[in-house]
Amino acid sequence: MKLKIIKNLNEKIEKLFGKKKKYLLIGILFLFIFGTTTAVAVKVIKDKEKGNKNENKDDEELVLYWELPEVIMNIGENKIIRYVSNRNIVPYISCEGTSLIIENVNDKEVRIKAVFPGFDNVTIQAENCTAICIVKVNDDIFKFENDETVLGVGVSETYFIKAEPKELLEISRINYSIENREIAKIKEVSNEYIEILGLKKGITYINAEWRGKSTGFVLEVVEDLYRQIKVPKEKQYVFVGQETKIEVRLDEQERGDEYNFRISVEPKKDNISATGENNIVRIRAVREGEQYVKVTHPKARSPGYIYFDVLKQPELESPRIETSESPMILRKDQVKYLNMYVLNGVLGDEDKFSFEIIENAYGVRVEQKRNKLLVAGIAPCAAKIRISNETVTKPYEVMVIVE
Q: How confident is the model at residue 52 (pLDDT cuts 50, 70, 90)?
A: low
Task: Report pLDDT digits (tens) over 309-343.
Answer: 888 876 657 788 888 888 888 888 888 898 888 88
User: Residue 259: left (phi > 0), alpha (psi -120 to 50), or beta?
Assistant: alpha
- Mean predicted confidence (pLDDT) in 389-399: 90
Phi, psi of 168 (to 5 degrees): -125, 150
Residue 167 has pLDDT above 50, yes or no: no
DSSP state of 23: H
Q: Which amino acid is at 261?
A: F
Residue 154 has pLDDT above 70, yes or no: yes
Boundaries of every domain in the chain? 1-59, 64-138, 147-222, 229-311, 320-402
Q: What is the pLDDT of residue 332?
A: 87
* CATH code for the structural domain at 229-311: 2.60.40.1080
For residues 136 and 72, give the distance between their C-alpha atoms in angstroms, rounded to a whole number: 5
Q: How confident is the model at residue 184 (pLDDT cuts 50, 70, 90)?
A: very high
Are domains 147-222 and 320-402 of this chain identical in fold? yes
Q: Which amino acid is at 382?
A: A
Closest CA to 337 of 117, 169, 170: 169
For residues 230 and 250, give the distance between their C-alpha atoms in angstroms, rounded to a whole number: 6
- Mean predicted confidence (pLDDT) in 54-62: 62
pTM: 0.28
Contact present, 189 and 198 (Cβ < 8 Å): no
Give me the CATH topology for the region 147-222. Immunoglobulin-like (2.60.40)
Residue 36 has pLDDT above 50, yes or no: yes
Contact present, 376 and 358 (Cβ < 8 Å): no
What is the second-level CATH architecture of the domain 320-402?
A: Sandwich (2.60)
Residue 169 has pLDDT above 50, yes or no: no
The torsion angle over the Cα atoms of residues 319, 137, 67 and 308, rounded to 10 degrees, is 70
* CATH code for the structural domain at 64-138: 2.60.40.1080
pLDDT averaged over every residue in the chain: 77
Q: Which of 77-81, 205-209, 236-240, 262-266 has the lowest mean pLDDT?
A: 262-266
3-class state of residue 21 by DSSP: helix
For residues 1 and 8, give the distance between their C-alpha atoms in angstroms, rounded to a whole number: 11
For residues 42 and 37, give the distance between their C-alpha atoms in angstroms, rounded to a whole number: 9
Residue 92 has pLDDT above 80, yes or no: yes
Residue 201 has pLDDT above 90, yes or no: no
